[in-house]
Amino acid sequence: MRKIFVLAVSAIAAASALAVVPAEARQGCGAGFHRGPAGVCRPNRPVVVVRPAGPRIGVFYRGRGYWD
């Protein structure tokens, strides 16, 4: 009984010790960098937001002429 208890406690201790280690999210490139397709470290860029363009005043549209 004591042997099973000691094995169980040591297994739980080993499993919890492995879970404490944080994952390497940056893949070894450092803060602000990530791995590219070729495995080279590349800087993180800001998010690009593209807005749809609305109608422009005074522009010629083919088949409809000028729109004002």
pLDDT tens column, 13-68:
777 766 555 656 557 788 888 888 888 988 988 888 988 877 666 677 777 666 65
The confidence score (pLDDT) of residue 21 equals 58
Given phi > 0 = left and psi -120 to 50 = alpha, else beta, which region is 52? beta
Under 8 Å between Cβ of 35 and 29: yes
CA–CA dist 19, 13 (Å, integer):
10
CA–CA dist 15, 32 (Å, integer):
31
Q: Which two tokens stand for residue 51?
A: 């807005």
Strand, coil or helix: what is 56?
coil
The confidence score (pLDDT) of residue 54 equals 74
The confidence score (pLDDT) of residue 26 equals 59
The confidence score (pLDDT) of residue 11 equals 81
